[in-house]
């Protein structure tokens, strides 16, 4: 018998969706709204699926303290990381009222590195694929009575933000040591 690819997948972890308010529409998050049908297929695939929604990623903020830790690198690499982390700062302040910009996709990677820093709930999640009002909404059965269908997604509800940033700063420190952009800066400074 040929093995199904699903049998080879330990888990699928994605940053996407929201349990409430979206960032692309009233209830839709950007990643899911771009291809809601694909998201529904993934959620109903039978694989272990982990969703890290906006409610969690919006707690992982690139605060002045975090940016200060990165600025201590005193390198071109560190400057570039700060530029990337703050690229959408003005938009998040203007549109969402955030003082500091959030970090999204690395939160899903963090789950794969250390699931213990998350609090999760197994629930039924379906994706709205047809409504013009809520296309891309992740409909999360938080209370467990929305559907007779089985629970299919482990939804992150909390993340240890200090632990996340400790992991991230450690990884960035290692990357800073070997980054070729730092070598170019040293070469320019020596010229």
Nearest to 108 by CA among 100, 99, 117: 117
67 vs 7: CA distance, rounded Å: 42
Please enumerate in sequence order all residues whose Cβ is within 8 A of that of 151, keeping only pairs 6 or more positions apart, or say none. 122, 123, 124, 141, 144
Q: Which of 46, 15, 4, 44 is nearest to 164 (CA)?
A: 15
Question: What one-character DSSP code corresponds to residue 157?
Answer: E
Q: Which one is catalytic: 58, 76, 104, 124? A: 104
Helix, strand, coil shares, percent, the chain, to 5: 45, 15, 40
Alpha helices in 47-154 (DSSP H): 54-57, 64-71, 76-86, 89-91, 106-113
- 58 in catalytic set: no
Which phi and psi angles does 159 have, rounded to 5°?
Answer: -145, 140
> CA-to-CA distance for 171 and 56, rounded, in angstroms?
21
Active site residues: 104
């Amino acid at each position: 018998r040929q093995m199904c690819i699903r049998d080879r997948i330990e888990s699928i972890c994605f940053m996407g969706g929201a349990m409430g308010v979206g960032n692309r529409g009233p209830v839709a998050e950007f990643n899911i709204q771009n291809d809601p049908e694909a998201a529904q297929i993934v959620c109903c695939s039978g694989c272990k699926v982990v969703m890290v929604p906006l409610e969690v990623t919006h707690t992982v903020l690139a605060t002045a303290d975090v940016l200060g830790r990165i600025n201590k690198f005193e390198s071109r690499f560190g400057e570039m990381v700060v530029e990337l982390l703050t690229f959408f700062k003005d938009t998040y302040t203007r549109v969402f009222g955030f003082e500091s910009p959030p970090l999204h996709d690395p939160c899903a990677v963090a789950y794969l590195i250390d699931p213990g820093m998350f609090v999760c709930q197994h629930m039924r999640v379906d994706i709205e694929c047809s409504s013009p009002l809520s296309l891309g909404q992740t409909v999360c059965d938080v209370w467990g009575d929305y559907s007779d269908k089985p629970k299919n997604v482990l939804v992150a509800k909390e993340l240890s933000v200090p632990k996340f940033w400790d992991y991230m700063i450690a990884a960035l420190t290692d990357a800073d040591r070997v980054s070729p952009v730092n070598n170019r800066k040293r070469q320019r400074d020596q010229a």
